[in-house]
Amino acid sequence: MATKFVVTLTLINRDLFFFMSYSDIENKLNSGKIIILDGGMGAELEKLGASMDNNLWSGRCSVDNPEIVYKAHQNFIQSGSDIITTNTYASTPISMKEYGYENHIEEWNKASVKIAKNVIDNSNSNVCVAGSVSTYGSWDRIEPKFLKPGFLKQLSILSEAGVDLIILEAMTSSTRTIETLLDCSNEFDISIWLSISCALDRDRNQLMLGYQESISNSEAFFYGDFENSINEFKKIHDGPILIAHSDIKVINQGIQIIKSNYNGVIGAYPNNGFFKKPHWNVVESISPQEYYEEAKLWVESGAQIIGGCCGVSPSHIKALSVLKN
């Protein structure tokens, strides 16, 4: 009897004090507080010894090296992340079919959520899991009607596996592809955040929807005027809009453009380094202290959600986390 009583109390206690729900994040955002995301899972996993799939990067680590995925999430939580993101960016049905892993779509995506939730359960921290649903592999050669089944499938798997929110990582995608993803996400009863990338067209001195992972080291690709794109997305999306997978030098300008066109919550998680096959390179990288100094400017410009994309480590996130209020 005594044992049963203790167990019951433990469960109640856990529910009251350790279980984070999305409403906690929402309340913090509504009261003007800062939410800290995690950093780049791929680089952290490689640092911890995981091997990347050439085409599908870190998704299969959840099956091959779950203990390393666990450790990477744990490192970000210990650095102050309020939200950890599943390593499902490249585990999209479209890309997994293309590279011969069609029969593992549910397995990889579900395993990724399970690991993230286990880390949180064992950490006694108020942390939420964001499911990363992406446009990876959609490219622009595929018509929206052929994209939809894949987007719906990943949204469905991650939602049912129990993520607290979804981040649509529509980075490096055209307006058409992003709008198709937003349309699909509106069919689900879960909070949706949109992350997009931007790059500077230096000839016209204009910020564009597009991508340039590093101004010094990567080529730029443009899809259209950034401001116009925001005004299109807001017609079908009212959740947070974040700038991701972009050079840190364009982030503040991007935040200011979103701020002057959108009343919703804004966030940013730029890159640190650049991609050169087959690895993300963090040479000429920015230090945690410099990253923190930049992040202060994003917050001053109106960003409430801050974190890091490729090459951003737990030490960068730790430096940012002092901006929580």
* Binding test (CB under 5 A) with Zn ion, winner from 62, 95, 271, 321: 271
CA 154 remoteness from chain centre: 15
Residue 36, classed as helix, strand or coil, is: strand
Considering the complex, state which of residue 195 and residue 304 has its C-beta at the smaller distance from Zn ion: 195
- Smallest distance, Zn ion to C-beta of residue 189, A: 29
Instruction: Quote the least distance from Cβ 271 to Zn ion, whole Å.
Output: 5
Binding residue for Zn ion, selected from 309, 312, 317, 320, defined by CB under 5 A: 309
Site for Zn ion in 206-265 (CB under 5 A): 245
Minimum distance from residue 85 beta carbon to Zn ion (Å): 11
**CB-nearer residue toward Zn ion: 237 or 245:** 245
Q: Is 316 in the site for Zn ion (CB under 5 A)?
A: no
Give 167's strand partners. Answer: 132, 193
Instruction: Respond yes or no on whether the N-terminal peptide bond of residue 270 is cis (omega within 30° of 0).
Output: no
Q: How far is the CB of 52 from Zn ion (least distance, A)?
A: 14
Q: Tell how strand 241-244 and strand 266-269 pair up.
A: parallel
**Helices and strands of the chain, counted as H and E runs:** 13, 13
- State in angstroms the smallest separation of the CB of 79 from Zn ion: 18
Q: Specify the residue, 159 or 272, whose C-beta has the smaller distance to Zn ion.
A: 272
Cα 42 to Cα 20, 47, 114, 171, distances in angstroms = 25, 9, 18, 16
Q: Is the Cβ–Cβ distance between 242 and 269 less than 8 Å? A: yes
For residue 126, give every residue at least 6 positions away whose Cβ sits within 8 Å of its Cβ, in sequence order, or none: 18, 20, 24, 82
Which of 127, 133, 255, 310 contacts Zn ion by CB under 5 A? 310
Residues engaged in binding Zn ion (CB under 5 A): 245, 271, 309-310
